[in-house]
Amino acid sequence: MRIVVTGGAGFIGSSLLWQFNQKGISDIIVVDHLGESEKWKNLAGKRFEDYMEKESFLEQLTAGRFGNTIDAIVHMGACSSTTESDASYLMQNNYRYTKKLAQWALALEKRFIYASSAATYGMGEHGYRDDDAVAPLLRPLNMYGYSKHLFDLWLLRNGFQSRCAGVKFFNVFGPNEFHKDDMRSMVLKGYEQIKATGKIKLFRSHREDYEDGEQKRDFIYIKDALSVIGYLLDHPGINGIFNLGTGSAATWNELAEAIYKALQLPADIEYIDMPIALREKYQYFTQADMTKLKQTGYDAQPTSLEDAVREYVSFLEKEAYL
């Protein structure tokens, strides 16, 4: 099988390369835009056929230069910044680019798996069920979430969700995210804060119904996310837009305490005001309803938060990558 992985030098994409290599798969075309970032380090030690810049790849793909030689596209490439303010860039990069890849894959009946996001759920006023009937009601809180949501809606409007698979990532964390700057997980940020000052800083709650640090998210370890993507690739008959989380929410305080426990240190948490610009766009609770995926036969159990954080911290201590 010849696989294209877009965003292949990024956090999830490069982790997928690691998983493919573990299975003996190296017939892979890595597509990304490296620019001046440090994410090239995620590719070191990985085995793959070729690397291509994203615009060059799309041009050659749509011109038919790959013929019928590609079996699957796993599209993880996107601007994942929830604070990106250039709406035109997000529309081009996250929506139109994805649409062109999907159109190619659908026309040639190739496997297409793509990354959506839990950011599509907005405040969660309609819950966190990956129900196609609910999707048109969702109101993302930022342009990143909307760019992902728009592609989901395009699939649904055309009935294409029955011919490909999308995954709505919740809060993924793990090795290979060093390059993500402000979008890095709190595990990495918290680890670095502890090493520098001994303290972890968490946002204070600005809602009366949540205590400081008691905001909840569905945190999922990268290896559990990879397991789901591998399952969908191995089962091309399973299609639709699926949540990808653990199905269980944990507080930021619990996450911070797990980091301290992994480092064998007493917890020392400082609460700071959330930037005003984020207060109206902040999700206080997310929890993936995993029923839809489980009904397809997927039955792997996610790693516990404590065990996942412990393993990730062991990577950070060694400055190691997957």
Per annotation, catalytic residue among 128, 144, 221, 312 = 144
- Cα torsion 160, 163, 169, 170 to 10°: value is 80
Are 161 and 155 within 8 A, CB to CB?
yes
Match 């980091």 to its residue by tokens. 259
* Ramachandran assignment for 47, one of left (phi > 0), alpha (psi -120 to 50 degrees), beta (any other): beta
Q: How far apart are CA 89 and CA 79, in angstroms?
A: 9
Side chain identity at residue 29, one-letter code: I
Query: Quick check: 86 and 100 in contact, CB under 8 A?
Result: no
180 catalytic per annotation:
yes
- Provide the angle, in degrees to the nearest 10, between the axes of the packed helices 97-107 and 143-158: 20
Between CA 251 and CA 154 the distance in angstroms is 34
- Identify the H or E element spanning 89: helix 87-90
Amino acid identity of 51? Y
Q: Which residue in the list 46, 54, 180, 216 is annotated as catalytic?
A: 180
The question of whether 261 is a catalytic residue gets the answer: no
Q: Which residues are catalytic?
A: 144, 180
